[in-house]
Amino acid sequence: MLFENPANGYQERASTPFLWCLLFGALYFAVKGIWKHAVIAGIAAILTSGVSWLVYPFFARIIVRNAYLRRGWIEVE
């Protein structure tokens, strides 16, 4: 997925969010600036003893895509 900021033309690639979320969990969302899901994923990982860490990656692509679109970015590819 490639997103472009219409204000300045900056492009950012969000490649393989499934893998990065599986490896780094809530930290991946924090790095992307998706703080709501970073907190939710962190708390869920603690409450479920890490089981949510294996479930959350299946939704990571949708979460990242929606976060960029809500911020006004345009999906280029």
Q: Where are the domains of the chain?
A: 15-75
Q: Cα(49)–Cα(57) distance, rounded to whole angstroms?
A: 16
Condensed to tens digits (0 to 9), the pLDDT of residues 9-46 reads 999 999 899 999 999 999 999 999 999 999 999 999 99
The residue written with tokens 């992307």 in the block is 32
Q: Rg (Cα) of the chain, in Å, rounded?
A: 13
The type of residue at 30 is A
**Per-chain mean pLDDT for the chain:** 94
| Nearest to 53, CA basis, from 27, 35, 30 | 27
How many residues can be counted in the chain? Answer: 77
Statement: residue 5 has pLDDT above 90: yes
